[in-house]
Chains A and B, each alone.
Chain A
Amino acid sequence: NAGVTQTPKFRILKIGQSMTLQCTQDMNHNYMYWYRQDPGMGLKLIYYSVGAGITDKGEVPNGYNVSRSTTEDFPLRLELAAPSQTSVYFCASTRTRGGDEQFFGPGTRLTVL
């Protein structure tokens, strides 16, 4: 199993550009999450999904969108990139909600200039 994979690893965007961060897991997990990690701030939840077709906002959803058309994929969309979205983005998945270990991808480092 590859676990949780994320692409790209690095990306530089100009203000106002859009992009999609890809996340795929091959563990047949129902729950998937997107976090952003800023220096000294820990991880903040952006969006999560409890299964295909079901998504919900986390702590910091503004400026982002998600979709979940399959169990495996959970892409994160930035429509109008802003410097405040410069961060490291992590995707994670877990089998159930009840405290199962979250498996994390390697992260995407995004810079918006």
Chain B
Amino acid sequence: AQSVTQPDIHITVSEGASLELRCNYSYGATPYLFWYVQSPGQGLQLLLKYFSGDTLVQGIKGFEAEFKRSQSSFNLRKPSVHWSDAAEYFCAVLEGNDMRFGAGTRLTVKP
């Protein structure tokens, strides 16, 4: 079975600074990849997804992610973080009907 690894449990950045959240996966074929965001007490909301084609995908709220097959990575980036971006972020991979999620990265934004 495939796995999804988010190496960073918790990241703190200053407001206005750039952000990169890491995601690595193990899967034989080109997977369907997703980033979701979860605000406290809420369900998950899709930020962006990658199936094929251009390896740099744009999402909502100014986020983007780049698929790198050679590194089995799908890192999430944002050039300038806003205080409202504080949340938990989940990388996920779709295998058949089974969506596998990483353990999540909690983002704290300092004023």
The number of inter-chain residue pairs (CB within 8 angstroms) is 58
- Decide: A50 near B97, CB < 8 A? Known: A42-B103, A42-B104, A99-B51: yes
Closest chain B CB from A98 CB (angstroms):
8
Stretch at the interface among A13-21, A72-80, A102-110: A102-110
Stretch touching chain A among B13-21, B41-49, B63-71, B79-87: B41-49
The reply to whether A101 and B97 form a contact with Cβ atoms under 8 Å apart is no
Partner of A41, one of B43, B99, B103: B103
Which residue in chain A gives the minimum CB-CB distance to B103?
A42
Point out the residues of chain B lying under 8 angstroms from A11, CB to CB: none
Identity of the chain A residue whose Cβ is nearest the Cβ of B6 in the assembled complex: A42
User: Which residues of chain A from 74 to 113 have any CB-CB distance to chain B below 8 Å in the complex?
Assistant: 90, 92, 97-99, 101-102, 104-107
Specify which chain A residues have a CB less than 8 angstroms from the CB of B90 in the assembled complex. 42-43
Inside 8 A of A107's CB, which chain B residues have their CB?
Answer: 41-43
Give Cα A45–Cα B99 distance, bound, in whole angstroms. 7
A106 and B42 form a contact (CB under 8 A)? yes
Seen from chain A, the residues whose Cβ lies within 8 Å of a Cβ on chain B are: 4, 31, 33, 35, 40-45, 48, 50, 56, 58-59, 90, 92, 97-99, 101-102, 104-107
24 contacts between A and B (CB under 8 A): A4-B43, A35-B101, A40-B104, A42-B90, A42-B101, A42-B104, A43-B99, A44-B101, A45-B99, A45-B100, A48-B97, A48-B98, A59-B98, A90-B43, A92-B44, A97-B96, A98-B32, A99-B34, A99-B51, A101-B46, A102-B46, A105-B43, A107-B42, A107-B43
